[in-house]
Amino acid sequence: MTGTARILLDIRARVGESPLWDPARERLFFVDIERAEIHAVAADGTQHRHWTLPDRPTALGLAETGLVVACAKGIHLWSPETGAFDLLCRVEEGIDTNRLNDGKVGPDGCFWVGSMHERPERLPTAALWRITPEGRAEKKLDGIKVSNGLAWTPDGRTMFHSDTRGPWIDRWDFDPLTGAMTNRTRIATLDDATGRPDGATCDRDGFYWSAGVTAGRLNRFRADGGLVGSVDLPVAAPTMACFGGEDFATLFVTSLTDGVSPERIAAKPATGAVVAIETGARGVAPYVFAA
């Protein structure tokens, strides 16, 4: 794969996550979880602004008039124009060791979000949830340590999901009308050198791009789990990629600094930044939450 990564936004995010391209606003949105911030920036790195929320935002999705935002224990609807921040539902409220983590809107128009065990031992107490526009939370999968890597192929019929501490990637057959998941298949089990699977996205050809958070690179997989290429990045700990910009031809990648050793940061001092790269692959528009 070709392409040279450039620094789009040189910020030292603690836990930069959940990049989301909004084609109507022509902005890249992303969060810094531990600073409780949502950020927005244009595709050329200008017009950067941020908002501080009353709870840690962990994942974003497009909604009809604003964004749907997963926070540590709840799902909210948020308007970047007015600042309105309205609770839709609570999730895993009684599990003190867990918080919500990776999420995005699926082909069924629902918001899919997983949780994670927030203690160093990372026990398998987390789950994957489907949130309807009416605010109903349905548990779809449990026994997870750190739910991550949600992405769908362009036809909406294949879903990918990972556990960063598994560390594995699974593929499911997906019904875009009902949200039913069937035929679970383990397609990859990874290591630190290849890159434990963090957030992910799919391109127009159905390849799965996984942020290798321990390896400083993006890994591109076939649907059967075959690794077909990797892109080395100028950040030590990439967390998630999304396609955006003109014709969805740019991969935007967030990264984190929390928990990254000084030696790794010294080797890649842009760690914490948002990176942009054109590889020749293209993505598709994100799905919209119909609330």
Write out pLDDT tens, residues 169-197: 999 999 999 999 999 999 999 999 999 99
Instruction: Read off φ and ψ for residue 69, nearest 5 degrees.
Output: -125, 120
Band (pLDDT 50/70/90 cuts) for residue 291 is: low
Q: What local confidence, expressed as pLDDT, does residue 217 receive?
A: 97
Instruction: Read off φ and ψ for residue 251, nearest 5 degrees.
Output: -95, 120
Q: What is 6-289's CATH superfamily?
A: TolB, C-terminal domain (2.120.10.30)
Contact 13, 50 (CB under 8 A): no
Cα 9 to Cα 254: distance, rounded to the nearest angstrom: 10
Band (pLDDT 50/70/90 cuts) for residue 3 is: confident
Q: CB within 8 A of 82, min separation 6: which ones?
A: none
What 3 state SS string does 260-280 have? CCHHHHHHCECCCCEEEECCC
Among the listed residues 163, 198, 224, 247, the single catalytic one is 198
Band (pLDDT 50/70/90 cuts) for residue 2 is: low
Q: Any known ligand binding at 17?
A: yes
C-alpha separations of 180 from 21, 59, 183, 222 in Å: 26, 22, 10, 22
CB-based burial, 246-263: b 16+ in 10 Å, e otherwise: eebebbbbbbbbeebeee
Q: CB within 8 A of 260, min separation 6: which ones?
A: 236, 237, 271
Share of the chain above pLDDT 90, in %: 96
Q: Cis omega (within 30 of 0) on the bond before 23?
A: no
Contact 27, 40 (CB under 8 A): yes
For β-strands 57-63 and 288-289, DSSP reports them as parallel
Q: How many helices (H) and strands (E) does the chain have?
A: 1, 25
Q: Any known ligand binding at 148?
A: yes
* Whether residue 17 has pLDDT greater than 80: yes
* Whether residue 50 has pLDDT greater than 70: yes
Strand partners, 226: none
Band (pLDDT 50/70/90 cuts) for residue 1 is: low
Query: Per-residue pLDDT averaged across 27-37, rounded?
Result: 98
Q: Any known ligand binding at 222?
A: no
Contact 260, 242 (CB under 8 A): no
Task: Please say if 198 is a catalytic residue.
Answer: yes
Q: CB within 8 A of 266, min separation 6: which ones?
A: none
Angle at 71 between CA 254 and CA 35, to 5 degrees: 55
Angle at 160 between CA 159 and CA 166, to 5 degrees: 145
Q: Any known ligand binding at 93?
A: no
* Whether residue 290 has pLDDT greater than 90: no
Q: What local confidence, expressed as pLDDT, does residue 149 receive?
A: 98
The C-alpha R_g of the chain, in whole angstroms, comes to: 17
Listed by start position, the domains of the chain span 6-289
- In the chain, where does DSSP find H-type helix? 262-267
Query: Per-residue pLDDT averaged across 64-85, rounded?
Result: 96
Q: Tokens 């895993």 — which residue?
A: 92
Q: Any known ligand binding at 118?
A: no
> At 93, is the secondary structure helix, strand, or coil?
coil
| Nearest alpha-carbon partner for 51 in 66, 40, 37 | 37
